[in-house]
Amino acid sequence: MSKHIKTIGGRALRDTVHNGGCRECRTSCQSACKTSCTVGNQACANKKNK
């Protein structure tokens, strides 16, 4: 049990390469921006990658 550092989330990005990249998730700009680019808040649509 860590006393000083509490990891609140995050999976190692490199681990998402293998099962990721299915490109079934939504296109980021379509949802609510249209004038910027925010990809980090998009949901993953690939169950294998979860």
Partner 1 sequence: MIHAFTFDGTDIVLDVNSGAVHVVDELALHVIRDYETLPEENLAQKYAPVYGPAAVREVLQEVRELKKRGLLFAPDPLPEGYRPPEEDTVKALCLHLAHDCNLRCRYCFAGQGDFGGDRGLMSPEVGRAAIDFLMAASGDRRHVEVDFFGGEPLLNRRVLVDLVHYGNKRARQAGKEIKFTLTTNALLLDGEMRQFIGDYGLAVVLSIDGRPEVHDRMRPFPSGAGSYQQVMENVSRFVHSPHCGEYYIRGTFTRYNLDFTEDVRHLAEAGFQSISLEPVVAGAGCDYALREEDVPVLLAEYDKLTRYLLERRRQGRPVEFFHFIIDLEEGPCLPKRLTGCSAGQEYLAVTPAGDLYPCHQFVGRPGFRMGNVFNGKAGKNSANLFQKAHIYNKSACGQCWAKFFCSGGCHANALAFNGDLLKPYHLGCLLARKRLECALYLEAIARQ
The residue ranges that bind partner 1 (CB under 8 A) are: 2-14, 16-17, 19-21, 23-46, 49-50
Backbone dihedral region of 16: left (phi > 0), alpha (psi from -120 to 50 degrees) or beta?
alpha
CB of 28 to partner 1, least distance (A): 5
Residues contacting residue 45 through CB under 8 Å, at least 6 positions apart: 22, 24, 25, 26
CB of 25 to partner 1, least distance (A): 6
CB of 40 to partner 1, least distance (A): 3
